[in-house]
Homo-oligomer: A and B are copies of this chain.
Amino acid sequence: MANEAVLTPQGEDFPQWYQDVVARAELAENGPARGTMVIRPWAWAIWEHMQADMDRRIKATGAQNAYFPLFIPMSFLEKEREHVEGFSPELAVVTHGGGEQLAEPLVVRPTSETVINHLFAKWIQSYRDLPMLLNQWANVVRWELRPRLFLRTTEFLWQEGHTAHATYEEAQAETLQMLEVYRAFMEETLAIGVVVGEKSAAERFAGADRTYTCEGLMRDGKALQMGTSHNLGHNFARAFDIQYLSAEGRREYVATTSWGSSTRMLGGVIMTHGDDDGLVVPPVLAPIQALVLVVKDEGGTGERAAALAAELSAAGVRTRLDDRVGQTFGRRVTDWELKGVPVRVEIGPRDLAADAATLVRRDTGTKEQVPLAALPSRVEKLVADVQQDMLADAYGRRDASIADASDIRGAAEASGSGFARLPWRLVRGEGETRLAADGVTVRCLQRPDGSLPRSEDEDDLVAFVARAY
């Protein structure tokens, strides 16, 4: 059911479409303090499913959750030189507390490496304490002059993992393991095909030896960085003096990592799957997977629909009944399409007479008549199918969006509608600057066979460049 009146079409003005869908589907809005965000119940419920799924995957690697303070003494930030240079322009600073000016200003955490590594130094004594694998779910603050809901906000929510290891090699293995956790989550759960690779030095996390990334491609051809994993080497261990006694009795520096993924992924889900009718939520994340919609409440339709909804819930499908027949059918369909509910079960007196209901898929718009007796198993299967099909579609679009280029000019041109892929040696240094002048950045580097490089200095690396959020 087309609904031109509600949203600006994507093809006409993608940024306006994004603003429209975020507002009309009641996902989020600006808070009163510049750059802050209010996340409304529908988007929050999607985030809760994302959190639970990601949390399970993180715990499966052996990491434990903990919680670290929001406020960090300014002097902590200054201990790692690159780190403070990277984050200084983005800091929010508390200068007054309890009615008095503070002796030392406090920074509202932009990320927690400094405070967590400070505690690592306290907690880690011997090789027996390693590896130490911690994660926290928290809010962080990075001052944003041009905020965009979910994509760039002064405050955002994320998980940040922080780990300490006996050797550099182990830290590198952890870094890549968490990158793989992110890749699998983004594909299996968000149904987003991502390009993974190493960041160039210019795009690296402030204080990291290496940064790896998952880059999604949005429907407007721009890339979105959706999760990064950093090998911090010995940088923070030196800055915070985190040493351990090895099995051989030597004092050694630990090697640390950090890795994060945020509410920005909600923006990725919206811009990867959404269409001109609104949001399309992957079933795994959908607060409501199947909506049972009463067309008209005549001849016991409402009652039968309620029973069906109960059956679906009992079968483990997250189901809601919409029997608000006081509102027009068209209006209700429009609203649920806006919110992106994956499967709609429409049932009216005519369906009931045929002992059937109409199933509608949000992603494809496909309709089918299904006998009521077969409905629960059919819906259950459809919910699983939609997830698979959405991912296949996302892979297809990602692969189709990668264009090979043989020089900087060609790469800049191809970057209008996706990733341009070209030899890193053509880009490195001068090329990166020239691309930047066109608003194009190096998203990541891969080896020719698609595997992950150990450093940007390897021979024959391939660069993926794109315009990005």
Contact = CB atoms under 8 A, between A and B. Distances in A.
Interface in A92-119: 92-99, 105-106, 108, 115, 118-119
Interface in A231-264: none
Interface string A55-70: 0000000001111111
A95 B98 contact: no
Nearest to A98: B143
Contacts of A64: 41, 44-45
Interface stretch (A28-36, A294-302, A336-344): A28-36
A278 to B, nearest CB: 19
B66 A38 contact: yes
Contacts of A44: 64-67
Contact of A33 (B69, B89, B93, B155): B69
B97 A93 contact: yes
B96 A96 contact: no
Contact of A72 (B29, B33, B89, B145): B33
Give the size category of A's interface with B: 35 or more
A31 B68 contact: yes
A39 interface: yes
A411 interface: no
A157 interface: yes
Contacts of A99: 88-89, 91, 143
A279 interface: no
Contact of A93 (B67, B95, B134): B95
A70 B143 contact: no
A72 B143 contact: no
A9 interface: no
B90 A33 contact: no
A40 interface: yes
Interface string A65-81: 11111111100100000
A41 B134 contact: yes
**Interface core residue of A41, A48, A154 (most chain B CB under 10 Å):** A41
A139 interface: yes
B32 A70 contact: no
Given A41-B64, A65-B44, A71-B36, A93 B92 contact: no
Given A33-B73, A38-B67, 13 more contacts: A29-B119, A31-B68, A32-B72, A32-B118, A38-B68, A41-B134, A67-B157, A89-B99, A91-B96, A93-B96, A93-B97, A94-B95, A98-B145
Interface of A: 29, 31-33, 36-41, 44-45, 48, 64-73, 76, 88-99, 105-106, 108, 115, 118-119, 134, 138-139, 141, 143-145, 154-155, 157
7 contacts: A33-B106, A36-B70, A38-B119, A44-B66, A67-B157, A71-B155, A91-B96
